[in-house]
Structure 1
Amino acid sequence: MCFADTDHGAPFAKDPSVVRFGGRYLLYYSLRKPGSIGIGIAQSDDLTRWRKVGELDPAAEYERKGVAAPAALVHEGKVHLFYQTYGNGPKDALCHAVSEDGLRFERNPTNPIFAPTGGWNLGRAIDAELHIDGDTVFLYGATRDPEMKRQMLFVATAPVSGGFNRESWTQRCDAPILKPELPWETNCIEAASVLKRNGRYFMFYAGGYNNDPQQIGVAVSDNGIAWTRLSDEPLLPNGPEGAWNHSESGHPGVFVDDNGETWLFFQGNNDKGKTWFLSKMRVAWDAEDLPYLIRPEDGHEFRLVRTRALQAIKNPVLDLAPALCPRDPLLVEHDGVYRCYYTAAEKLPAGFQLHLDEIRSTDLVNWSPPRRLLDGPLGFSSPGSMIRQGGRWIMALQSYPIPPGHDWADESARLWLMESDDLEHWDPPRQIKPEGCTANWAKSRRQIDPCVVAHDGKFWCFYKTDGQLGLLVSPDLHAWEESLPDRPVLGRKDTPDNATLENVCLLRDGGEWLVFFSPCRDGRGVGVARSRNLLDWHGVRYLDFPAVDWAHNGPTAPMVIDRREKLGVWLMVFHGEDRRVNPHGAALGLAWSRDLDHWTLPFRHSRESGYP
């Protein structure tokens, strides 16, 4: 859906409110008129295609400068429209009108019906929202502080029998029920839109003034008066550069249809307010009965970021130096338990020995002591992927025997699979391709850093040799052959600085595969590329990953899992290198992202504060 009113010049529609009335949907919105602001009315049969059918013209002296920000409510067979006066600064107030047909309205003779009082505000009222619960009607709105700088929310209630008249309202707060406190809310919270579900009230609200950018957050309440944010991040952020809503995603209007389907209408633009458009997203509910949004055109989901859980994480999550150096992590979540498998690099008198270890956590904060899964001279390590096939867990890993006196493995390093029914008991590893790399483009038979995925009815195994990525294919996880015998799937000629690469992780994002990889360079970093067929890749680039102050040589070996349903984010585990410890020096860390492009690191927990 993309709707704007063009009757008075440039496309303009803001502040959406939708009801179902008279067998059709009615959309009320603010429109820009020469010298003033007004209210437009559009109708639709499907909530997507809208046709303008009218306007609400100013009809009283208090509306002379304009009317705006409509909130529609169907009650007792009529459309009740609540709106604000416009252009009067601190004297703007909320008004009410009623209609038999949704198009022609009769003003409430007691208008304006409400403006807040108290020393904490200057008496202004805009952005009305009404919610009827039993015999009580809740009125929400926005006001400013006495300096006219900070926008914040108030609430009043009245008996439904009071007819929404001025004398029926009682202000229910002596301070803001929500005020801007988070960075993304800047100096403004406005445009409350409320529904009730399973005994709890949910409020979608706009944070930030127009084009700050304005974005949409969510709060919850047990009584409609006292509210708590569900996240410190917006549920619906402004769009990326080039998107229609890059300047903002603002002023939400929630609508529950007769069939129970719930939609969130909102405004946006990408030109700092020269134009304004309206769109919508479907509101869905997760296993915890919390809302998330689904974009209709592509199914993209916007989830609540569980900031409380994420902010409790402290990096590095595992630092055992100098006795052991954890590297090359693989993260799996199953039945509420996170299992992190990793290479444990041990410094011995004769050189280095690699092992495969595991730690566990239920909250990403408190981790179990390491558990050794594999030991011995073959140096099993670098767990690169975990898939489910035939009811079994299948891990890809490498053997990495390091000759005495050396730092790195010799030509005998190979790829392996290891299987389990329960993630507790593992079968002995079996080799993928004992003869090693047979690709024509490779000089070495050495193969390390495997990552196995299922695609198009086959199994594909990425690996590193000669500093480039090869690709094996198998119909059954037993018989493997080179899928690209004459070229690497990704090589040094593909990276932005001609660096070699290793440690890949693959996941699906929409209709494409997304690969994360480690460039082999000083300062390391995280690279990405995209493909539809696993053979041909485009968009190879390095992420602008945040600096990891506890990793002297930067982040590397990224591995990403989808935790949007529970945490609202993609979760990355990586190792940060510190070669000052030894050539394998590293510790494990976590990061998260909403879009797989912009990543956030948690607070660093230093050894000085007691981290082991």
Structure 2
Amino acid sequence: MKYISVIFLLMMLASCQVNKDKVNLSKLESPIIFKGDDNTAYRDPAILYQDEQFYLYFTLSRVENDSVFQYTAQSRSRDLVNWTPYEIITPRDQKFDFCSPGNVIKYNDEWIMCLQTYPRPNYTVDQMPRFGNNEARLYTMTSKNLETWSQPELLRVKGNDVSIEKMGRMIDAYFIEDNNEPGKWWCFYKQNGVSMSYSYNLRDWTFFGYTESGENVCVLTENDEYILLHSLKNGMEIKKSKDLVHWEDFGPLITLGQQNWEWAKGRISAGAILDLRKVDGINKYLMFFHGSGPLTEEEGDFDKNSSLGIAWSDDLTNWEWPGK
């Protein structure tokens, strides 16, 4: 009997641990996941849900000895409440400033992340805010375990015959598999609105075209449609298309709780959506985003005072968040 009681106790403790790690949106006390300050900005989230764990990748802007650097960083969570301390996964180099991860996909036996450079050589705090120059390009990194990443490699979305000098300024990449042709991949990126290129191996790309759009696109496929979330000067909007050529606006401007959030008064932007409606215990679309403020980005809250937040929805139109 004594041994049975011990075993029962151990089982109860294990059960408590499992329950502790389960997602319960009602336990989130604040929409803020990582909060920026006068020396730090958290921006441009990318999110992956794998093996009941959330992998969050984002831009980290940081003041270091009066210079400003951007990195791509990562953090993990099982319950959306407790996040691991962030880890920087890209080099420290203002000539590149690798940042703005778009998303992470599984291809063959490895994970592939798309991201960009945001070059600002010799950038110091007295120049804030200063935006990336015309040398910004797209890159990829690969991983076997979603924690250790390769060195960035140039993503030639205009084709292998187009030199890096002639590719033009491009930012905010996002990968999505074709809705009707498995094995065909699309890369969306900010250039002339949003540009689109396709590939069958993620290395050799063919330019397809572009459509009017803001930045930081996130693309879902659902019911034979492409759903594109993009960011405007303030707030986010959704477009839908069946053929990537003809697009229709869907739903209202998304600004969440901005009118009540001093930390996001300047701008709500860079939404990244996960469709977890079929995941028991969540059953929602989750959106990660960044909010900057109280100043606008042009007024200075770009590389500082920018925070990552979370919201959720049943229909991509009506949104909720902690405390609403």
TM-score bracket for this pair, using the shorter chain length: 0.7 to 0.9
Shift of 1:558: 0.3
SS of corresponding position for 2:25: helix
Whether 1:460 aligns to 2:183 is no
Q: Identity of aligned pairs, percent?
A: 30
Match of 1:379 in 2: 97
Whole-angstrom CA distance in 2 between matches of 1:393 and 1:444? 25
Distance 1:344 1:436, change over 3 A: farther
Whole-angstrom CA distance in 1 between matches of 2:220 and 2:171? 19
Match of 1:479 in 2: 204
Shift of 1:593: 0.4
TM-score normalised by structure 2 residue count: 0.79
Match of 2:61 in 1: 345
Whether 1:410 aligns to 2:128 is no
Whole-angstrom CA distance in 1 between matches of 2:301 and 2:227? 32
Shift of 1:579: 5.9
Match of 1:490 in 2: 212
Match of 2:245 among 518, 535, 538: 535
One-letter code aligned to 1:358: Q
Match of 1:312 in 2: 27
Match of 2:290 in 1: 575
What's the CA shift string for 1:262-317, capped at 9, x where partnerless? Answer: xxxxxxxxxxxxxxxxxxxxxxxxxx9xxxxxxxxxxxxxxxxx9x8112112211
Mind listing any 5+ residue stretches in structure 2 that lack a counterpart?
1-18
SS of corresponding position for 2:115: strand
Contact 1:350–1:404 under 8 Å retained in 2: no
Match of 1:361 in 2: 77
Contact 1:545–1:599 under 8 Å retained in 2: no
SS of corresponding position for 1:582: coil
The aligned runs of 1:15-414 (5 Å cut-off) are 309-313=24-28, 314-348=30-64, 351-377=67-93, 378-405=96-123, 407-414=130-137
Shift of 1:591: 0.2
Whole-angstrom CA distance in 1 between matches of 2:132 and 2:65? 17
Whether 1:445 aligns to 2:168 is yes
Contact 2:159–2:207 under 8 Å retained in 1: no
Match of 1:470 among 177, 186, 195: 195
Distance 1:434 1:458, change over 3 A: closer
Mind listing any 5+ residue stretches in structure 1 that lack a counterpart?
1-287, 289-305, 492-500, 605-612
Greater RCO, 1 or 2 (C-alpha within 8 Å, sep 6+): 2
What's the CA shift string for 1:540-566, capped at 9, x where partnerless? Answer: 564344323131123210000022223
Contact 2:48–2:103 under 8 Å retained in 1: no
Match of 1:546 in 2: 256
- Aligned residue pairs total 280
Distance 1:368 1:545, change over 3 A: same
Match of 1:426 in 2: 149
Whole-angstrom CA distance in 2 between matches of 1:509 and 1:415? 26
Shift of 1:446: 0.6
Match of 2:9 in 1: none
Structural RMSD (CA) = 2.6
Match of 2:309 in 1: 589
Determine which structure has the larger strand proportion and give its number: 1
Match of 1:502 in 2: 215
Match of 1:96 in 2: none
Determine which structure has the larger helix proportion and give its number: 2
Distance 1:438 1:589, change over 3 A: farther
One-letter code aligned to 2:42: P
Contact 1:403–1:409 under 8 Å retained in 2: no
Whole-angstrom CA distance in 2 between matches of 1:347 and 1:535? 42
Shift of 1:601: 1.4
SS of corresponding position for 2:24: helix
Contact 2:287–2:311 under 8 Å retained in 1: yes
One-letter code aligned to 1:551: A
Contact 1:356–1:372 under 8 Å retained in 2: yes
